[in-house]
């Protein structure tokens, strides 16, 4: 019995010495934390905008003749029309009556001109005869063969012949002026007759028809008779936050998705407004659609503008923390967390470009700033 107790006493110190040694060699296990690696991938940075589809250029078709009724309509909404095509016709009755009257005025003026010309010829002949008689009378008077009474009579006849010639010339001038006036009025009537056919100034698609049969066309009407989308060109007018405007450039590609559409339409930025709304802090851009696809104007649409594309080292946005000193990530090496400052570039599709601070393949905490701090020991759990 005493030997057994002695053996136990002898073994016991060895066991006690081995337990602390094992405890010292086993590493302390930290909390499990999801990590990810920086990898090279393509990143596309985009700006989402929204707005309405509008006509790039809208042509207002107004009547050019006032007070005539619409008797015929030849175009409907949605029709594609060519430049110069007749869209509607106005009543010509009143103008045709005026044209007949004007033709009669011109004919009367022509007759007056002919009559005045004949009178001038007659007056010139009479004046020549009267002047010859008066000249002979003056010669005879100097020799005393003609009385003073005869002299005075022939002098008066010569003067009357000259007056009649002048009167005939004045009548010709009046008749010529009357004809010129009637001719000008005739041209005006012809222009108004031509304008009874309301034509499309430009080719395109009729977006709205306000013309109604029997209605009176008025120059000062509130609404035009027709609205035409020139060349059928429809574009997106969208609002953009002012902070995004510096990244936009003319010609940048845009994927436009109208309301209810299943596929995006290709487009490019055509115009960037130089003015930002003071109240909303929004700017405007216009996006032209490639190929002028049929899209209803006034409909809502979204546009995705690509502002950058690179193949670089990237990290998920969730792995980045933003503070006063800038962006940081929590790098993990041998289970220990180290906070590193990084410089960011493009951002898109939930990832960000790492310009500097982290290298390809380096492990970082997937959700930074959660519950681990600089210097903590963790158990990394990799993600896909």
Task: Enter the CATH code of domain 32-43+311-382.
Answer: 2.40.420.20
Give, to the nearest 10 degrees, the angle between helix 93-143 and helix 148-194. 160
The pLDDT score that the predictor gives to residue 108 is 92
Evaluate if residue 185 carries a pLDDT over 50.
Answer: yes
Lowest mean pLDDT among 1-5, 74-78, 187-191: 1-5
The pLDDT score that the predictor gives to residue 12 is 45
The pLDDT score that the predictor gives to residue 134 is 75
| 247-285 per-position pLDDT tens digit | 899 999 999 999 988 889 999 999 999 999 999 999 999
Q: What is the mean pLDDT of the chain?
A: 86
Q: Report the length, in residues, of the chain.
A: 384
Model confidence at 1, pLDDT cuts 50, 70, 90, reads: very low
Of residues 202 and 368, more confidently modeled: 202
The pLDDT score that the predictor gives to residue 6 is 38
Task: Enter the CATH code of domain 48-55+232-309.
Answer: 2.40.30.170
Evaluate if residue 92 carries a pLDDT over 90.
Answer: yes
Cα 291 → chain centroid: 16
| 19-62 per-position pLDDT tens digit | 444 444 445 567 888 889 999 999 888 889 999 999 999 999 99
Evaluate if residue 113 carries a pLDDT over 70.
Answer: yes
Task: Rank 79-83, 143-147, 290-294 by mean pLDDT and report only the highest.
Answer: 79-83
Work out whether strand 326-333 and strand 321-323 pair parallel, antiparallel, or are unpaired. antiparallel
Of residues 237 and 45, more confidently modeled: 237
Q: How far apart, in whole angstroms, are the C-alpha atoms of residue 19 and residue 161?
A: 157
Which contacts (CB < 8 Å, 24+ apart) does range 358-361 have?
A: 358/38, 358/313, 358/315, 358/329, 358/331, 359/38, 359/313, 360/38, 360/39, 360/40, 360/313, 361/37, 361/38, 361/39
For the chain, the three-class secondary structure string (H helix, E strand, C coil) is CHHHHHHHHHHHHHHHHHHHHHHHHCCCCCCEEEEEECEEEEEEEEEEEEEEEEECCEEEECCCCCCEEEEEECCCCCCEECCCCEEEEECCHHHHHHHHHHHHHHHHHHHHHHHHHHHHHHHHHHHHHHHHHHHHHHHHHHHCCCCHHHHHHHHHHHHHHHHHHHHHHHHHHHHHHHHHHHHHHHHHHHHHHHCCEEECCCCEEEEEECCCCCCEECCCCCCCCEEEEECCCEEEEEEEECCCHHHCCCCCEEEEEECCCCCCEEEEEEEEEEEECCCCCEEEEEEEECCCCCCCCCCEEEEEEEEEEEEEEEEEHHHCEEECCEEEEEEEECCEEEEEECEEEEEECCEEEEEECCCCCCEEECCCCCCCCCCCECEEEECC
Domain ranges for the chain, please list them. 32-43+311-382, 48-55+232-309, 63-90+196-228, 93-194
The pLDDT score that the predictor gives to residue 148 is 75
First to last CA, the chain: 64
The pLDDT score that the predictor gives to residue 144 is 67
Q: From 2.40.50.100, 3.40.50.261, 3.40.50.720, 3.40.50.10680, which CATH number describes the 63-90+196-228 domain?
A: 2.40.50.100
Percent of the chain scoring above 90 in pLDDT: 47
| Tokens representing residue 57 in the block | 């250029």
Of residues 183 and 372, more confidently modeled: 183
Lowest mean pLDDT among 25-29, 95-99, 191-195, 377-381: 25-29
Average pLDDT, integer, range 212-217: 92
The pLDDT score that the predictor gives to residue 15 is 43
Q: How far apart, in whole angstroms, are the C-alpha atoms of residue 255 and residue 306?
A: 9
Does the pTM exceed 0.75? no
């Amino acid at each position: 019995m005493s030997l057994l107790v002695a053996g136990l006493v002898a073994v016991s110190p060895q066991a006690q010495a081995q337990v602390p040694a094992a405890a010292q060699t086993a590493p302390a296990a930290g909390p499990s934390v999801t990590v990810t690696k920086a990898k090279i991938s393509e990143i596309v940075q985009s700006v989402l905008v929204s707005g309405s589809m509008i006509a790039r250029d809208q042509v207002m078709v107004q009547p050019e003749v006032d007070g005539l009724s619409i008797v015929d309509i030849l175009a409907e909404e949605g029709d594609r029309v060519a430049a110069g095509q007749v869209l509607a016709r106005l009543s010509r009755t009143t103008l045709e009556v005026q044209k007949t009257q004007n033709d009669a005025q011109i004919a009367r003026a022509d007759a007056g001109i002919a009559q005045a010309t004949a009178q001038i010829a007659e007056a010139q002949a009479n004046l020549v005869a009267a002047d010859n008689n008066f000249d002979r009378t003056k010669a005879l008077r100097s020799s005393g063969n003609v009385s003073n009474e005869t002299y005075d009579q022939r002098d008066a006849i010569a003067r009357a012949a000259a007056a009649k010639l002048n009167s005939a010339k004045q009548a010709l001038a009046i008749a010529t002026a009357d004809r010129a006036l009637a001719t000008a009025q005739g041209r005006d009537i012809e222009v108004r007759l031509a304008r009874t056919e309301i034509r499309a100034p430009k080719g395109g698609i009729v977006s709205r028809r306000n013309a109604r049969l029997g209605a009176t066309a008025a120059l000062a009407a509130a609404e035009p008779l027709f609205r035409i989308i020139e060349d059928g060109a429809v574009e997106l007018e969208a609002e953009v936050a002012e902070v995004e405007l510096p990244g936009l450039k003319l010609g940048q590609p845009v994927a436009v998705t109208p309301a209810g559409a299943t596929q995006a339409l290709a487009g490019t930025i055509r115009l960037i407004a130089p003015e930002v709304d003071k109240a909303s802090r929004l700017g405007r851009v216009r996006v032209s659609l490639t190929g002028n696809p049929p899209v209803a104007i006034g409909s809502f649409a979204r546009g995705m503008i690509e502002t950058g594309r690179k193949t670089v080292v990237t990290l998920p946005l969730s792995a980045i923390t933003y503070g006063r000193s800038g962006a940081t990530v929590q790098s993990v090496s041998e289970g220990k967390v180290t906070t590193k400052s990084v410089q960011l570039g493009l951002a898109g599709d939930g990832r960000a470009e790492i310009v500097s601070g982290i290298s390809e393949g380096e492990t970082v905490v997937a959700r930074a700033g959660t519950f681990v701090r600089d210097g903590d020991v963790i158990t990394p759990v990799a993600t896909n």
